[in-house]
Amino acid sequence: MSAKVETLIECSCVSVGEGPHWDGESHTLLYVDIIDGSLHRWSATTGLDEKHTFDTFCSLVVPCRKGGYLISLGKSICHFDWDTKKVIILHTVDEGLDTRINDGKCDASGRLWFGTMTMQNAQGERELYKGSLYSLEVDGTVRKHKGEITVSNGLAWSADNRTMYYIDSHPRKVFAYDFDLSSGTLSNARVAIDFDDETKQLEGFPDGMTIDVNGKLWVACFHGGKVVQLDPVTGNTITSIEVPVNRPTSCCFGGTNYDDLFITCSRYSLPEEELKQTPLAGSVFRATGLGTKGTPAPLYEGIINKASGPDCRI
């Protein structure tokens, strides 16, 4: 295997690049710049990177089958129409808590899974276990699946949809659950990969992730400068891809054959010294020659009732 990492979109993110989603229909890469509140859409056809900036954190983006995108704005899941720039707030979670929505993705039945995380105070500390994991069902209702999450992050499902993988970055663990696709329920929680296990030599915090056609996880190691391919059954590292930044945040497969791995990273609050060493922080990278590939990420299959729901600002 001769993996190659190239800079695809140089320094397009000023804060935390995250949430990459390859839209095979339009040959675009969707991603967010969370703290900046920006949604990006890069076209593989034209090479242009469009962006739209909201007035609060935007941490996830998934296209809807029936048009537009699901995005998060702060603690709300919203529908966004890029053409009209109209935003419809669908649901707000974590009422009364100092949290925000973080990573999110749809399962194979088209329900959106998303979690929340606590905010850091001025000293860079955060309250533990205040976040939760939710789903937005295709009928538009929201269900809470788990509490006591600190930094809700990456999500992935096995090809048979019987296992869901989920990262809480703070305890540095990739969890596995038995998954029931039709009911959308989780059971039998266990640790698949423990970044605290010193024998594994995994650096940094597990952040966003994706899964390849062989059921191996690709996890961005925030503060680890790598994306690692992990075997969720043995917990072993199979491949390690170095990126030219310390804080990769997430990755997704895409491109014509789904064998390109798009990698986002953070430029947010980088110390001067780190910025000097990693001037490409905030870029989107593309890794090729990985010897594997992914599959199209599911879309949201629900109906957005455009008549109801309060409009947010445009």
Contact 99, 118 (CB under 8 A): yes
Q: Which is nearer to Zn ion, 8 or 34 (CB)?
A: 34
Contact call for residue 153 and Zn ion (CB under 5 A):
yes
- Which of 23, 94, 107, 207 is close enough to bind Zn ion by CB under 5 A? 207
Task: Extract the tokens encoding 277.
Answer: 């060493």
Contact 154, 133 (CB under 8 A): no
Catalytic residue among 207, 212, 259, 260: 207
CB of 71 to Zn ion, least distance (A): 15
Q: Which is nearer to Zn ion, 164 or 304 (CB)?
A: 164
d(CA 29, CA 285): 12
CB of 18 to Zn ion, least distance (A): 5
CB of 282 to Zn ion, least distance (A): 15
Amino acid at 160: D
Contact call for residue 264 and Zn ion (CB under 5 A):
no
Contact call for residue 104 and Zn ion (CB under 5 A):
no
Q: Which is nearer to Zn ion, 204 or 208 (CB)?
A: 208
CB of 19 to Zn ion, least distance (A): 8
Phi then psi for residue 276, to 5 deg, are: -65, -40
Sign of CA dihedral 234, 236, 238, 241: positive
d(CA 265, CA 280): 9
- Which of 208, 225, 255, 302 is close enough to bind Zn ion by CB under 5 A? 208
Coil/strand/helix, residue 19: strand
Phi then psi for residue 164, to 5 deg, are: -115, 135
The H or E element that residue 274 is part of is: helix 272-277
55 is a catalytic site residue: no
Query: Any idea which residues carry the catalytic annotation?
Result: 207
**Residues contributing to the site for Zn ion (CB under 5 A):** 103, 153, 207-208
